[in-house]
A and B are shown apart, each in its own frame.
Chain A
Amino acid sequence: MESLQSKAKELIKDASVAVIIGYAAGTKKGKTKPFFAYSEEDCEKLIFTPECVNNLTIYLTRKFDFMKKGKVAIVAKGCDIKTINVLIQENQLKRDDVVILGVSCEGVVDKDVILDRAELTADLPEDKKSIKCITCDVNTPSDFDHLFGEGVESKAIEPMTGGIYDEVDKVRGMAQGEKWNFWMEHFERCIKCYACKKVCPLCYCDVCITEKNQPQWIETSAHERGNYAWNIKRAMDLSGRCTFCGECDRVCPAEIPLNLLNQEMAKLNYEAFDGYRAGYQTEEKPPFVSFKEDDDEGFIR
């Protein structure tokens, strides 16, 4: 990552940015950490490895303005840039406000996978990749100001198939009662820590519905009723927006398969609304603020 570090230094040096949001080595084996480089020597700590799982774009949202101290550059994988696109689409960010240091990426590690140093240099085996990487088609970022890492050929994929979508189809295939029990087993475990929303770059509301008690749409208690309401509301709010960075799923301490919910919604949007996929452009209006007069209404009598 020589070039990444030197470019970073350059940007800091000529003061074209105040801070570079990137990754640095973590304190524990197999961990990396989000890192803010303000000085040239900070820049020497910047790295990019398959262990750089975090979607750093959350630091571009307003609640982190306090640490920016000026213009921002960010180290972003193709998938992270999809989030940036949605943030732009939703008026949370202007493209010019951020310098994108795109990194080409062949996949990052799945949660709880710890690589030996050897593996770090070698190609990452599929079974150790995060599931989002299986269906990734932006290995080389679509939009960036500077690109690092030898260009990886972006895979041509059939959207909404393979990887997580096979699992989505599994659940789709279940009988109604089966589905209900499946989800209840999972939601039962939810401890309402809301880590899922806190880590999601698209949950940027100042005041979340869960923090409103008048009326109490989402009950605060971690019982199934409250948990079901919360998880459904969350999936609904991310429908047509989620770019499948998988952070919510990664951080959930209760191991609830949140990717399933979000990607079901992604798949639905793709199927129902002319192949819409969030994060691939910034111009088109998202499905929920637009419509077609001939949208399907088979379910309405």
Chain B
Amino acid sequence: MTLKLLKEDGLKKLIEALNKADTRVVGPKRNKAGMVTYDDVNADTELELDEVIGRYSPKDAFFPQHETVMRYKLDGKDVHVKAETPVIKETVLLGVRPCDAAAMISLNKVFTWDYVDTLFTERQKKATIISLACNNADESCFCTSVGFAPDGTEGSDILLKKIKSGGYLAELITKEGEAFATTHKSIFENAPAKADTVAIAEPTKLDIDIDRIKSWLDDKEKSWEHPLWEQLAAKCVGCGGCTFVCPTCHCFDIVDEPYGDQGKRVKNWDGCQFDHFTLHASGHNPREHQPQRWRNRFSCKFKIYPDRFEKKGCVGCGRCIRVCPVNLDITEAMTEITQIAK
């Protein structure tokens, strides 16, 4: 793996270059409400690279919360239908965290599993992910407990590491990464033999064993009706915040929005924590209460994902913990189950 060096003004130059090339740059940026989200950046000064992690995941770049899939127009007795083919620009995800980068791989599995969702894959194809290793973690970070690392490389094309004296050490991970560096060779300079990088963050390592968790979940006899679900999740109000901030949650809903004699079919984020997510037309709801819905979310991360996509469903970003209004802490469940499953 090649190492390169980004000088202090490297990012500045890079963004200028990308702007020139009319490439979309998405990075951590403080919005009007003062929170950091991943949004279009036009200058390195906008970047908030010291923030532990953005409020939402950057998945929005590939899987927008709201997008039109087709439009229709009534014309007399006929209907004109036209599929949506949005213009998709070259995109660079700059300064996202390794966990988010890894999550993109998991997401890809979902959107290419049976039907290939070109709206997603196109965007992903045209994107280069330049992630930034974490130098600090907060109480909610737990990537190391689920097999990822603050400087993990999975999903990134290039991984940046902060150099004490300024600038970044760039690990070119994929050939796309290599290519990207070559395109911008003036910015990606040759790295010195030894660069003194800032210490990598060390999130608390929790007593969690995801394999044990999975095997417990596999044993439905034991796990399905276990009182644990209610003990933990009865307090859940079903706000769904966790699903919206989660980098691997991927559920969406398709609805028509009429406007006069025309309209569009839109694809909007949905979440398994909403009470109407599984409501049948009959009025019956197989997941009647919040604990069952939360059991589903949990199983999705630690059983369904591995089973179906041989991928981890949780990258330990901790967003769901930060955003939860009732302190429903997924790591609490994981540690407890790890115990139970002993």
B308 at the interface (CB under 8 A from A): no
**If A220-B266, A255-B33 touch, does A195 touch B253 (CB 8 Å cutoff)?**
no
A232 at the interface (CB under 8 A from B): no
Q: Fill in one digit per residue for B59-70: 1 if any A CB lies within 8 Å of its CB, else 0.
A: 000000110000
A247 at the interface (CB under 8 A from B): yes
Q: Fill in one digit per residue for A235-246: 1 if any B CB lies within 8 Å of its CB, else 0.
A: 000000000000
Question: Which residues of chain B are near A220, meaning CB under 8 Å?
Answer: 253, 255, 257, 266, 268
Q: Fill in one digit per residue for A206-222: 1 if any B CB lies within 8 Å of its CB, else 0.
A: 00000101001001111
Chain A contact residues, CB within 8 Å of chain B? 26-29, 31-36, 54, 58-59, 63-64, 66-67, 185-186, 189, 191-195, 198-199, 211, 213, 216, 219-223, 247, 250-251, 253-256
How many B residues touch A, CB cutoff 8 Å?
A: 43
Check if A253 sits within 8 Å of B244, measured CB to CB: yes
Question: Which residues of chain B are near A32, meaning CB under 8 Å?
Answer: 327
Check if B238 sits within 8 Å of A255, measured CB to CB: no
Check if A189 sits within 8 Å of B241, measured CB to CB: no
Could you tell me the distance between the alpha carbons of A115 and B217 in the complex, rounded to whole angstroms? 38
Check if A59 sits within 8 Å of B241, measured CB to CB: no
Could you tell me the distance between the alpha carbons of A5 and B288 in the complex, rounded to whole angstroms? 32
B221 at the interface (CB under 8 A from A): no
Could you tell me the distance between the alpha carbons of A243 and B235 in the complex, rounded to whole angstroms? 21
Could you tell me the distance between the alpha carbons of A241 and B188 in the complex, rounded to whole angstroms? 60
**If A26-B327, A66-B289, A222-B65 touch, does A36 touch B234 (CB 8 Å cutoff)?**
yes
Could you tell me the distance between the alpha carbons of A205 and B92 in the complex, rounded to whole angstroms? 44
Check if B271 sits within 8 Å of A193, measured CB to CB: yes
- Shortest CB–CB separation between residue B155 and chain A, in angstroms? 24
B96 at the interface (CB under 8 A from A): no
- Shortest CB–CB separation between residue B231 and chain A, in angstroms? 8
B139 at the interface (CB under 8 A from A): yes
B237 at the interface (CB under 8 A from A): yes
Stretch at the interface among B12-20, B122-130, B158-166, B318-326: B318-326
Q: Fill in one digit per residue for B233-256: 1 if any A CB lies within 8 Å of its CB, else 0.
A: 011011111001100000001010
